[in-house]
Copies of this chain bind each other. A is one copy, B any other.
């Protein structure tokens, strides 16, 4: 699968995500009209991710956010009820998208090697489309309140579990070698994460997301496939 094909196949513009997020938090957001709410949510999320990823969410003041989003302090508080809740909202929305896209993309694929390859590519491409989200979620997990923090960890383990299950199925079918599925999955995740955590590095070296994906698939399959 090509990256551009993937990007077009999923509906994930900023507006789409903001609309979902609005629907999810209809009770907490005080703005009535969807069109207005979505327009400003896009501005708020854009600004929060930009500032937050540049200097950390804790170091971002709501005055920074207010001026970057071109909204007054008062207007800001019509969309969020506290700074902490904004943090939670961003993370939650990211997780929802990941689970949805991963499940949609993998259903119907049975051949283990093909499924593993697709899972790696989809996760990688998704992290490319939503890079600020992924980076933010990774770096700010520990600043979440207790309950949200627990959910973030569960989510990490859930996506890891997807990879582990594919590997186990491949082993059961005799297509994959006998390896530690959980540890293999953990390392796949680690390499997937490097792509969005160290974007500056790969950008500088002009490594494309497709090249990275191919390399990663090669590395994993050369380890996991039965040898001749």
Contact = CB atoms under 8 A, between A and B. Distances in A.
B142 A55 contact: yes
A210 to B, nearest CB: 13
A222 interface: yes
Indicate how many identical chains form the complex: 2
Interface size bucket, A side? 35 or more
Interface in A122-162: 139, 142-143, 153, 156-157
Contact of A187 (B142, B194, B222): B194
A109 interface: no
Interface in A186-224: 186-187, 189-191, 193-194, 198, 200-202, 205, 207, 212, 215-216, 218-219, 222-223
A55 B142 CA distance: 6
B186 A190 contact: no
Interface string A155-194: 0110000000000000000000000101100110111011
